[in-house]
Chain A
Amino acid sequence: ETGVTQTPRHLVMGMTNKKSLKCEQHLGHNAMYWYKQSAKKPLELMFVYSLEERVENNSVPSRFSPECPNSSHLFLHLHTLQPEDSALYLCASSQTRGTWNTEAFFGQGTRLTVV
C-alpha cells in the first residue's frame, strides 16, 4: 500500500464516547499533520509533528489529543466531543528539510459525525 492511509473513513460517535483516528504514511516522510475541514471553511491546521516531535498546536481544544509513536504513524484521540466538531479530518505528510517542505500528500480523510 502506498501514500497516506486514514482509518476509519467514517465515524459516528456520541458526545461521551472516546475514539481514535489513525493515519499511516508509506512515503518515508518525517513530518505529519492533522487538518480539520468544516463545511464552507478553509482547511484548518490542527497539529504538526516533525521528526516525531509536536512542533505546532493551533489552539486546538484539549478534547483532541494527538499522538505520534513513530514517523509513519499519527493518531488523533477524541473524547467528549461537541456536535460542532463534526467535520472531515485530514492527515497529511511531507519531508521537512530545515525551513521548507517537499510536496505534501493527503489521506482520504475521516468523516466524523458527533451526535
Chain B
Amino acid sequence: KAGVTQTPRYLIKTRGQQVTLSCSPISGHRSVSWYQQTPGQGLQFLFEYFSETQRNKGNFPGRFSGRQFSNSRSEMNVSTLELGDSALYLCASSWGGQGGNGYTFGSGTRLTVV
C-alpha cells in the first residue's frame, strides 16, 4: 500500500516568486491536511480539504491557498514568497472522520526562499 507522496522533496525559490506543492494521499483517503514546520513556530496547521471542499483553515495569510481534486490529490500554493516562508511543508491524509487511526504524513517538501 503506497504511502502519502509529496513532490517535490526540495525546492529553492526567490522572494516574490510563487510555488506549488503537491500531495497524493493514500488510496481511499478523502481528507488531506497541510502543515508548516519551522524551528521558531513549530508545526502549524494551514488547511484541510475533504472531498474537494476546504473544511478547516489555519491562521495564515491569503498568500497561502490550496485545492483538492476529485482523485483526492491536493496542491498548496504560496504566492509572493517571503524569506519567512522557508519551512518544511507536510501533508497528512486520512479517511476523513475524526481521529480514526490517526493521520499518515508524507515526507514533506523542504522549501527554501532566498
Tell whether A and B belong to one assembly.
no
Binding site for A on B (CB under 8 A): none
Binding site for B on A (CB under 8 A): none
